[in-house]
Amino acid sequence: MQELARIYGSEMTAYQADTIKKLGFSYATRGGMTIGIDDIQVPNAKYNIIDDAERQVADVEKQFRRGLITEEERYREVVTIWQKATKDTISAVRDNLDPYRSVAMMAVSGARGNINQISQMSGMRGLMSDPTGRIIELPIKSNFREGLSVLEYFVSTHGGRKGLADTALRTADAGYLTRRLVDVAQDVIVLIEDCGTEEGVWMQTADDADLMEKLEKRSSGVYWREM
């Protein structure tokens, strides 16, 4: 587009951009891109990964009961094991993706979603955090394709509930902070022409005046320094 604008000008560039947009909309409509439950495939490797992680966690619990490690060390090791299992599951989901299915095409193209969200649908949800930000060591081994158990659903609601509470509570705090800042800064008025700084922003004229605002408008209220 930059090269097109340089050679043919703004009018032709705008026309070509509009044509490309119409072409994209036309074939996106014909393609009928959508998601069905059959597009979400659970990789077989997931179950082996979880079984291996459960064996490692059992070994850690055994060491803790024997008094070989502390409670904090046990917690850290269990969390590390499940974090690795989650990463391995994401890799398995990525390898299992059919590049021609709708889910993969949406994620790879950047239109919607990413591999982490796909992994929650077809891999495992992994570890969640409680309202204090501490990681809950009980992982959610299921995914949305298989369905969550009652306990897994309860654990997964921590994050959603905290997000809603933060949105409701912190909005008022941000509004009050803005009001206080305006109140203390309303008497601060710039009276001198030059603030004396040695740093600034370079400005230059554009070859095509239609593509960029005129230099006079962009430099309104700015102190000029010739180099």
Report pLDDT for 200.
Answer: 76
* Domains: count for the chain: 2
Residues 82 and 139 in one domain: yes
Structure letter (DSSP) for residue 201: -
Residues 59 and 153 in one domain: yes
Radius of gyration of the chain (CA): 28
Which residues lie across from 217 on neighbouring strands?
none
Residues 95 and 24 in one domain: no
Helix 45-65 and helix 71-96: axis angle, to 10°? 170
The answer to whether the Cα torsion of 143, 145, 148, 153 is positive or negative is: positive
The helix/strand/coil state of 182 is: helix
Tens digit of each residue's pLDDT (9 = 90 or more) over 97-148: 888 888 888 888 888 888 999 999 999 999 998 888 889 999 999 999 999 9
Residues 53 and 163 in one domain: yes
Half-sphere exposure (CA, 13 Å, Cβ side) for 93?
27
Report pLDDT for 198.
Answer: 76
**Residue whose structure tokens are 């495992």:** 124
Centroid of chain to Cα 226 = 43
Residues 141 and 98 in one domain: yes
Domain presence at residue 25: yes
Q: Which of 72, 83, 70, 64 is nearest to 139 (CA)?
A: 83
Other CB atoms within 10 Å distance of the CB of residue 92? 22
Tallying the residues shown for the chain, one arrives at 227
Centroid of chain to Cα 63 = 38
Instruction: Identify the domain containing residue 17 by its residue range.
Output: 1-32
Report pLDDT for 84.
Answer: 95
Tens digit of each residue's pLDDT (9 = 90 or more) over 53-85: 999 999 999 999 999 999 999 999 999 999 999
Residues 79 and 162 in one domain: yes
The helix/strand/coil state of 129 is: strand
Report pLDDT for 109.
Answer: 84
Is pLDDT at 13 greater than 80 in this prediction?
Answer: yes
pTM over 0.75: no
Report pLDDT for 7.
Answer: 86
Other CB atoms within 10 Å distance of the CB of residue 161? 10
**Residue whose structure tokens are 């947009």:** 21
In which band, very low, low, confident or very high, does the pLDDT at 206 lie, cut at 50, 70 and 90?
Answer: low
Q: What's the mean per-residue pLDDT of the chain? A: 86
Hey, what long-range contacts does 46-50 have (CB within 8 A, 24 or more apart)?
46/89, 46/92, 46/93, 46/123, 46/124, 49/85, 49/88, 49/89, 49/92, 50/85, 50/89, 50/124, 50/141
The helix/strand/coil state of 126 is: strand
Report pLDDT for 73.
Answer: 95
Report pLDDT for 52.
Answer: 96
Residues 96 and 79 in one domain: yes
Tens digit of each residue's pLDDT (9 = 90 or more) over 152-188: 999 888 877 877 887 888 788 888 899 999 999 888 8
